[in-house]
Amino acid sequence: MLSKKQLSQSIKYLQSQGFDAPEVGIVLGTGLGQLVDSIENQKVAHYNQIPLFPLATVEFHTGKLIYGDLGGKKVVVMQGRFHLYEGYDFIDITYPVRVMHGLGIKNLLVSNAAGAINPDMKKGDMMLIDDHINLQGGSPLAFKGVSEFGERFTDMSAPYDKEMNEKLKSVASSKGITLREGVYASVVGPQLETRAEYRMLKILGADAVGMSTVPEIIVANHLNLPVSAVSVLTDECDPENLAPVNISEIIEIAGKAEPKMVALFKGLIELL
């Protein structure tokens, strides 16, 4: 069970390490960890150093929080997120968002790698998430004492901040970056979807599918924290022409898209 005392220990440790009043929090997804190269005056805290903080177990997710300057703002970046498929629960997965909020962030940016379900979206495209479908079978707000942290029955009619999304679209346009918009479906994983599951997701209205992000978005809304999220589409999920997906290829494609993600996020941060 989550407690304010627990959060306080993590927050106080990070403050003692110089994580002073960050304005923007960023959660980096698969293959998108190089944004940190653009951060100046870095301070780093590895997850295993932070009291009561979960540990990342995915091989290609490094586990650390980075604090510093980006786009004229103080930022704190989560390099290496947590997933249900690692055996964590929803409270673990979203704990870092609550910690970043406790440090003082006013906006949250989230990235992920996802599979394209919409046939008009292709491998390597970027998709601004304007809504989501939670297929993970639970909620990060379903615990005793949740009302201590915010409204139990959190409104999700507009989970992604309209003003931030409009600014992201403006940045994309000014930099010549094609930014699609769509609905993201979040599943548990770690297995990828079957052909029948892709057909189902398309019928449900999903444009892309992944294994993260939605829990963090729910908690951001619970905290009244404006949030935007962008997916890098790393594979095409056409059930009639489905090819086996290689995780190393997904990481490679996400890496190739990273300069565009850096430009988008940095441009947005400058406007916040």
pLDDT digits (tens, 9 = 90+) for 150-198: 889 999 999 999 999 999 999 999 999 999 999 999 999 999 999 999 9
Residues 95 and 3: their CA atoms lie apart, in Å, by: 11
Task: Please give the pLDDT value at position 212.
Answer: 97
Cα 44 to Cα 36, 66, 67, 169, distances in angstroms: 11, 5, 6, 31
DSSP assignment letter at 68: E
Structure tokens, 200: 């189902």
Instruction: Give mean pLDDT, residues 209-216.
Output: 98
Other CB atoms within 10 A of residue 224 CB: 10
Nearest CA-CA partner of 168 in 251, 212, 91, 109? 109
Do the beta carbons of residue 47 and residue 55 sit within 8 Å? yes
* Alpha helices by DSSP H, 106-246: 162-174, 195-204, 214-222
Task: Please give the pLDDT value at position 39.
Answer: 95
Task: Please give the pLDDT value at position 157.
Answer: 98
Q: Would you give the distance in Å from CA 195 to the centre of its chain?
A: 26
Instruction: Give mean pLDDT, residues 39-67.
Output: 86
Query: What is the CATH T-level fold of the domain 4-271, as seen in this structure?
Result: Rossmann fold (3.40.50)
Res 31 pLDDT > 70: no
Do the beta carbons of residue 2 and residue 53 sit within 8 Å? no
Structure tokens, 208: 């892309």
